[in-house]
Structure formats: structure tokens, C-alpha cells
Amino acid sequence: MTIPRDTKRVIALQEELHSHLPSDPALRVKALESLLVEKGLLSSATVDRWIEVFRDEVGPKNGARIVARAWTNPIFKQRLMINAIEAIAGMGFPRLEANNLVVVENTPRRHNIVVCTLCSCYPWAVLGIPPTWYKSFEYRARVVRDPRGVLKEFGLELDDDVEVRVWDSTAETRYMVLPERPPRTEGFSEEELAAIVSRDAMVGVAKVITPERRS
């Protein structure tokens, strides 16, 4: 049967409108938030404030400060690689939600990337809210089978002689990447170094670049 032209336009319009709708979990969260606000159990200002805390204060700025300190303080770096939770305990960060945090270091010959294949376990206290792509089934499934291909899609191509290691997070153990310190940053302060460390670099899908190269 031939579908009338006007009907095709209506179908196309409906598909376009539905493509912009939030996912079912997002809609359920929004409905729950609206109900709590309506009953006076929660305020919109409180929700906005918690979002700001996780986005701007909890992380990934916390992780960036950890990386910058490891780059500038060899003693701290050694402690961080041995026992990350103990090393960062005195930096005033929120308590980690997992029992263990393992920091893996990138080198010129080894590149690390983090995933959680079972769900989306993530070190919130040091990296903030996990990005959507980290929680997606496609990333969780493909990065284990073809890490180089996934990295290439993020714009990161590694030489063939660079070993790629994939670290699978769990409810008990979370991972964070210590990126390589970029060249021409010898005179940078700890604060200046922290400013150039990205969340993606601490997950392992990017490298840290100097401001000159970034611009």
C-alpha cells in the first residue's frame, strides 16, 4: 500500500519529535523530582545545588588536582600508586563510594583506559558525574574487544608499539588514569597543571595537551 505524502510527513515529524525526548530513566527521575518538590520534601534549588556540586566541586576538578600533585610531587605520586585512597585522604575530598581506588599510570609505551562492563561503576568522588557515553552499552561492550578502535573514534590514535590496557571497574574497586604530563609544562604551577587535566584523560580516552596545542 502506498502511504500518502501528507501521512509520510506526519510520521517523519513524529519521529523527529520523539527523537528529542529524554530516555525513560531520565523521565522517571524528572517525574520523581517533580513529585517530591510538589509535596514540599525537596526544593528545586537543592537539586540544582547538588548538580553544581557534583559537576564543579566534586569532580572532575578533584581528580585533576590529584593528577597535578602527582606530576609535581614524586613522594605523593609514589604513595598514590601504592594506596590511592590513603594518599588522597588528606586532600579534603568526599568519601569514595568504593572500598578501593586504583590509579594506573600512562607512559610512552603503555596507555590505560577505564570501563565498567557490568554497569557503570565510576569514581564519582574524584571524577564527578559519569558522561553518557561511559554508561552506554556500546562503549562498555566495544572498548574491551577493540580499545584502539574506540580510542580512534575519540580522536586518539596510538602507535602500534604502545600497549593498551583496559581496566574493568567493579562496585568494590574503581580505576582512574594518571595521564602523561604533556611537554612544555615544566614551569607550570600545580594549579595551572590541574586546569589542563580533563575528565576524559583520567578515564583514558584522551591525552592531556598543553594550552598552546589545544588552541
* Residue 215 annotated in active site: no
Active-site residue among 34, 44, 119, 136? Answer: 119
Active-site residue among 116, 169, 198, 215? Answer: 116
* Residue 120 annotated in active site: yes
Neighbours of 50 (CB within 10 A): 11
Measured CA angle at 154 (ends 151, 156), to 5 deg: 60
Residue whose C-alpha cell reads 599510570 in the numeric block? 105
Put residue 195 in one of left, alpha, beta given phi > 0 → left and psi -120 to 50 → alpha. Answer: alpha
140, 209 contact by CB (below 8 A): no
* Residue 121 annotated in active site: yes
Q: Which residues of 14-23 are buried (b: 16+ CB within 10 A; e: fewer)?
A: eeeeeeeeee
* Residue 198 annotated in active site: no
> In this structure, is the dihedral angle defined by the CA atoms of residues 133, 139, 143 and 148, taken in order, positive or negative?
negative
Element (H, E) at 71: helix 61-72
What 3-state DSSP class applies to 121?
coil
Distance CA 14, CA 49 (A): 35
Residues belonging to the active site: 116, 119-121
